[in-house]
Every structure is written in C-alpha cells, then in structure tokens.
Amino acid sequence: MKLGKKIERLTLLLRLDGELDMNTASIVRQAIDVEIEKRGIRTVILNLQDVRFVDSSGLGVIIGRYKKLLPLGGNIKITNVPPHIYKIMELSGLPKIISFYVDEAHAYEEGRGA
C-alpha cells in the first residue's frame, strides 16, 4: 500500500494505492490517526482511485476513522471509487453514512465557503 498525503488547513487528503485488507489497514489507520491527534485534522478525504481490492478489514478502517472523527465534529469523504470497489462498499451500507464524490475537487468544495 502506497500513500500520498496532502494537508491543507484541517483537511487531510490521502491517496491510496494498493490493496486495502487486514495487512494494509493498519498503515492507513496510523496515517490518519497521527494527523487527527497531532495536527487536529478534522476532515479526511480518501481518494480510492488506485485501490484494487477492499474487504471488510479495509472497510473497517474507514468506518473506524468515521467513528473517531464524528465526536470531534469531523468528517470523512471518499472520492474516485472504482466500480468494483464501490459494489463491496454498497453491500456494506457504507454509502449510507459516508459521502462519496466523483473527484477530489468536489469533495473539497462541499463544506467550504457556504
């Protein structure tokens, strides 16, 4: 799993490249949690364009960050999900609680200004 990180104010953009399973979930968990704790990050945008596989361990790390950010007044957003990855997420009910966006620009846009 390769991670690309970009931080802008209180928003962390994380681009994931690889397979999101029990082996790589901890890498993603740590990458996000350290920014929440040390920099006070409140919005996490996950770009999943280059994610080739996800299972319940991978979904677990996303839902875990959602549960962590929610009481802090934060939010998690998902962008660029490949169709076969989206199918798994849909089956899990994830889109009912987490917002999905076509790309990073749309994810940034929502919640800004207004």
Contact present, 76 and 44 (Cβ < 8 Å) = yes
Q: Specify the residue, 49 or 57, whose C-beta has the smaller distance to other proteins.
A: 57
The SS3 call for residue 60 is helix
Backbone angles phi, psi at 19, to 5 degrees: -105, 130
What sign has the CA pseudo-torsion 73, 111, 94, 20?
A: negative
Tokens (6 digits) for 92: 């899990």
List the one residue from 86, 92, 98, 106 that touches other proteins (CB under 8 A): 92
Q: Is 23 in the site for other proteins (CB under 8 A)?
A: yes
Query: Which region among 8-16, 49-57, 71-79, 100-108 touches other proteins (by CB under 8 A)?
Result: 49-57
**41: alpha, beta or left? (left if phi > 0; alpha if psi -120 to 50):** beta
Q: Is 60 in the site for other proteins (CB under 8 A)?
A: yes
Query: Which region among 6-14, 20-28, 30-38, 105-113 touches other proteins (by CB under 8 A)?
Result: 20-28
| Binding positions for other proteins, rule: CB under 8 A | 19, 21-23, 29, 53, 55-57, 59-61, 63-64, 67, 84, 88, 91-92
